[in-house]
Amino acid sequence: MSTTPLRAAMVPVTRQMRAYFAPVNRTTETPTIFDPGLAGMFLLNAPPSPWVDLGWIENFDRWYETPTDVVRSGAKAQPAVQFRGPLEARVELDFRQWGKLQMALAGGSEHMNVLAPAGGSVSPAPSGGTPAPGAAVLAGSTASQLVFGTGVAGTFVAGQLLAVDLDYQQQIGYVGSGIAAAYVSDPLAVKQDPNYVRRVTFNVGRVAEVTETSVLLAQPLLGGVPAAGASAQVVIAFLDREGGSFFQEWSALFVAEEESGGRVCFYYPRLSPNPGAGGGVRWDSANVGTRGSGGNRSAKVVGVPGGKFVREEFAAIESCAAVSLHASFLALPFTDTNDGQSVLCYRSYFPAAMAATY
């Protein structure tokens, strides 16, 4: 049977790549599973829970750096068998949209919420000084509605960002409800600050409306229903740092938007930010619209001693430039539950309707 009329549908065409991330349970190192059979052809604007839509991305590059070598035998050293060397895979991309999660992934280490300062004299600190005290979140709250009791209108107003989490309890280990936001190895390192968890938590939401006793959030908290005893503090800004000892780790799903019918997905069970060896690059804002390392639209310049990794990219808009967050990741292994193989990335393909099978 001729499949010629069906072969055109076998050509995936895409216009752009979309990124979705979901948390890894850091205590058990359990990733969020993307099962193509259960959720493969989801609506791109409505990803299945707990995947978080981080928007369209650009300059998406994947590297698979696992060498394959050959064992040779015989007088003529003929190839006898192949074997794979050390597993390594990387991903690089630019987030065009900035947000709490995008910054955390691009920054790679602890991502800070700059909490609104307390009134009066506060010692300045680059990542935020002494904050205004938190407001206790009451029982009955949900991921989208935080109950504070009467008088909340005098505390919060629509438009504010809130960080919602527990006080730091002097514990050692991962902190952050629902999603590990940092690792504390010594309470003294964080000055036993009860606000520390809210300084780093991913449970941040914008106040959409203030009712008599509660606030409604524009988006649900990533960590779900606030834990009993949680408090909320106003966030002024998001902040990441060059440095830090914590490594973010997330499950990632990249979807090539299907223009011709077939969808291609790249699923990384565990991705950890890692700029790699880099090529020696630096910013050059005067160079917007050019690209030193090939391609275009970047202010990247190659070969600068001491520089290793571009944190932001510029996408020229005539005489202006949109700033995007440059992110680079190292894929960590996941043991496939079906056959026990160690896997860094899964590539799935959902053929277009009526496409030939081969």
Partner 1 sequence: MQFAKDSFFLALQSRLAGLDPGRTITLNGATVPGIVVVENLPPSSAEPQPNAFYIEWGAAQVVAGHARNAALMSMECVISYYTLGSVASMVDRGRMLGQMDEELLAICQPPNTEKIDYSQSPSADLGTKVFWSQPVFEEKQKTAVDDLAARHPDARVERRVRLNVFFFSEVTLS
Long-range contacts, stretch 131-138, CB < 8 angstroms, 24+ apart:
131/195, 131/198, 131/199, 131/233, 132/233, 132/234, 133/233, 134/167, 134/195, 134/198, 134/231, 134/232, 134/233, 135/231, 135/232, 135/233, 136/229, 136/230, 136/231, 137/164, 137/226, 137/230, 137/231, 137/232
Nearer residue to partner 1 within complex by CB, 11 or 189: 11
The contact mask relative to partner 1 for 213-252 (x = CB under 8 A, - = no) is: ----------------------------------------
Binding to partner 1, residues 336-355 (CB under 8 A): 352-355
Q: Which stretch binds partner 1 (CB under 8 A): 3-11, 66-74, 203-211, 264-272?
A: 3-11
Between residues 10 and 227, which has the closer beta carbon with respect to partner 1? 10
Residue 264 in the binding site for partner 1 (CB under 8 A): no
Nearer to partner 1, 10 or 17 (CB): 10
Tell me how many degrees the CA angle 202-206-209 measures, rounded to the nearest 5.
Answer: 145
Q: Does 306 bind partner 1 (CB under 8 A)?
A: no
Which CB atom, from 210 or from 352, has the smaller least distance to partner 1? 352
- Nearer Cβ to partner 1, position 4 or 338? 4
- CA–CA distance from 48 to each of 25, 58, 165 (Å)? 18, 23, 24
Residue 358 in the binding site for partner 1 (CB under 8 A): no
Interatomic CA distance for residues 102 and 83, integer angstroms: 37
User: Closest separation between CB of residue 260 and partner 1, Å?
Assistant: 5
User: Applying CB under 8 A, which residues contact partner 1?
Assistant: 4-11, 13, 15, 258-261, 352-355
